[in-house]
Amino acid sequence: MALTRRRALLAFTFLASIVVAPTAAAQDKSITVSSTTSTEQSGLFGHILPEFTKKTGIKVRVVALGTGQALDVGRRGDADVVFVHDRPAEDKFVAEGYGVGRRDVMYNDFVVVGPKGDPAKIGGGRDVAAAFAKVAAAQAPFVSRGDKSGTHAAELRYWKDAGIDLATQKGPWYRETGAGMGPALNTASSMNAYILADRGTWLSFKNRGELVVLVEGDPRLFNPYGVMLVNPDKHPHVKKAEGQAFIDWLVSSEGQAAIASYKIGGEQLFFPDAKK
């Protein structure tokens, strides 16, 4: 009799596992978002993702890399959504068939940060190309992310606008870190060097040392962010419904309000820019 009861219990446990396991899996909804370091290191994701998860039940795992690497994650199909800030690279990603439905989400701007002493004498200017030309002429220490990120891509455009050929003109004064925005700012702070930074990460950065914002306001420093679904036709395992739900929330009035409400010291870091 005891053996019979034991067999019955085992059978019941097995049947229960068949019923419960799929239910638990169905309730455990999650997506992977490949994004730039600025959205993570600025604290934006920590502010908005709990609101999204509370509304939808979908958990978001963020892989924070430079934009170039973040797009490569999407190309490999290792993310469901890509959320980055390098429009030419984003357009190429879509044109190659790796992403679909790109949407504008928000913007902020880049700033040129440097030591208070300002050996290159760029402070107070608005022309980023002129500022870069002065830094090169003075051979003042400059820290580059050097990581194929959106910020790095913008920096390279500004050097080109300044007429500086880094291949032949950079020297010991130009330091490439191959790191994200936060670590690169730490390096600039320790070296008392110039650096291009996105304003969001700069505002959240604590280890400033002698660094201050020296150049801002040039229209070329405009920094838009876009989001897109990784193409499920190319990678069938992409969680299309959940990924699209995240995109739809970001560009909705609720998501845009969440982005606008993120402030540090009363200063707004990102500005909603979703277009109908």
DSSP string, 5-17: HHHHHHHHHHHHH
10-24, 53-67, 128-142: least confident range: 10-24
Q: What is the pLDDT of residue 24?
A: 41
Confidence of residue 188 (pLDDT cuts 50, 70, 90): very high
> 136 pLDDT exceeds 90?
yes
pTM of the model: 0.82
pLDDT of residue 236: 97
Mean pLDDT over all residues of the chain?
91
Q: What is the mean pLDDT of residues 57-70?
A: 95
Do residues 61 and 30 lie in contact, with contact meaning Cβ atoms separated by under 8 Å? yes
The DSSP 8-state label assigned to residue 261 in this structure reads T
Residue 276's pLDDT band (cuts 50, 70, 90): low
Cα separation of 131 and 245, whole Å?
A: 42
Estimate to the nearest angstrom the gap between the alpha carbon of 178 and the chain centroid: 15
pLDDT, tens digit (0-9, with 9 covering 90-100), for 220-241: 999 999 999 999 999 999 999 9
**pLDDT band at residue 19 using 50, 70 and 90 as cut-offs:** very low
- Residue 16: is its pLDDT beyond 90? no
Token couple for 74: 């999407």
pLDDT above 70 (res 218)? yes
Structure tokens, 82? 């890509």
Residue 22 has pLDDT above 80, yes or no: no
- Residue 34 binned pLDDT confidence (cut-offs 50, 70, 90): very high
Q: How far apart are the first and last CA of the chain?
A: 70
CA distance 232 to 156: 33
Q: Coil, helix or strand for 68? A: helix
Q: Are 154 and 186 in contact (CB under 8 A)?
A: no
Inter-residue contact 131 to 122 (CB < 8 Å): yes
Query: What average pLDDT does range 131-146 have in this prediction?
Result: 97
pLDDT at 111: 97
Question: Taking 50 as the threshold, does the pLDDT of residue 21 lie above it?
Answer: no
Q: What is the pLDDT of residue 5?
A: 52
